[in-house]
């Protein structure tokens, strides 16, 4: 099966090279995705056609999709059935928080909403590459010049977030995406802490003091203690 990244149409003919409708070069869909996942080929919210699965976790799934109205490839992130209320709140917080950020080194959120079947979704820019964790697993360590390049881009993303009074609180290699062109992107502001009142007015507070959220190995000491004093440092 192949798909057109301009119109989102799926084609069964394996020998077809270009889309009959707009002459866009077709891209292949993983065979196991098409056979095993019923979401492949479905329209979401009347705007996004799912064409491939990118990954699945315990409570979420990410798909490659096409926003058919503008012919744009996107990554659609879904909350799967059975996610606890806190997980749903975190998902919506990620959508609202990240949508306020504009820096090129922060993953872009195009839209978020709810499909007809009740599933919550997040439409993000489609990235090609690997997470920093995947790169570290393959390389063992990153050469210092490359590491400096990645860190400087992360700092640029955080500078904007901190300027808006947002503290990421879960910054780790799994949440840094390194694109094929060398651009790094900060992802997953799902447990961000909002310090700025004006920003807070736009995003409802979904975490309470006394909770220790994040990944232990990458937490600041005050965060590990569950203190409500985490800041930009």
Task: Give catalytic residue positions.
Answer: 170
Q: Which class for 81: exposed (0-12), middle (13-18), buried (19 or more C-beta within 10 A)?
A: exposed
CA distance 39 to 154: 34
Phi, psi of 177 (to 5 degrees): -105, 125
The terminus-to-terminus CA distance of the chain in angstroms comes to: 49
| Phi/psi of residue 51, nearest 5 degrees | -120, -15
Nearest to 203 by CA among 171, 164, 173, 175: 164
Q: Which residues pair with 106 in a beta bridge?
A: 186
Measured CA to CA, the distance from residue 109 to residue 23 in angstroms comes to: 28
């Amino acid at each position: 099966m192949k798909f057109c990244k301009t119109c989102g149409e799926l084609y069964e003919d394996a020998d077809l090279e270009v889309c009959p409708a707009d002459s866009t070069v077709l891209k292949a869909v993983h065979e196991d995705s098409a056979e095993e996942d019923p979401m492949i080929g479905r329209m979401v919210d009347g705007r996004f056609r799912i064409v491939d699965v990118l990954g699945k976790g315990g409570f979420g799934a990410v798909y490659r999709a096409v926003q058919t109205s503008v012919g744009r490839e996107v990554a659609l992130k879904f909350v799967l059935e059975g996610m606890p209320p806190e997980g749903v709140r975190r998902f919506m917080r990620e959508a609202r928080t990240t949508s306020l950020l504009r820096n090129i080194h922060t993953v872009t959120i195009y839209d978020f909403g709810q499909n007809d079947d009740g599933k919550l979704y997040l439409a993000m820019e489609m990235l090609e590459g690997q997470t920093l964790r995947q790169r570290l697993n393959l390389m063992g360590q990153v050469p210092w010049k490359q590491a400096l390049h990645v860190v400087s881009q992360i700092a640029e993303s955080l500078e904007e977030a901190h300027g808006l009074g947002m503290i990421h609180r879960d910054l780790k290699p799994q949440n840094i995406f390194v694109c094929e062109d060398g651009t790094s992107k900060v992802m997953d502001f799902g447990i961000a802490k909002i310090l700025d009142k004006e920003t807070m007015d736009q995003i409802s507070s979904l975490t309470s003091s006394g909770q220790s959220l994040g990944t232990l190995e990458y937490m600041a000491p005050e965060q590990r203690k569950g203190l409500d004093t985490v800041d930009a440092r």
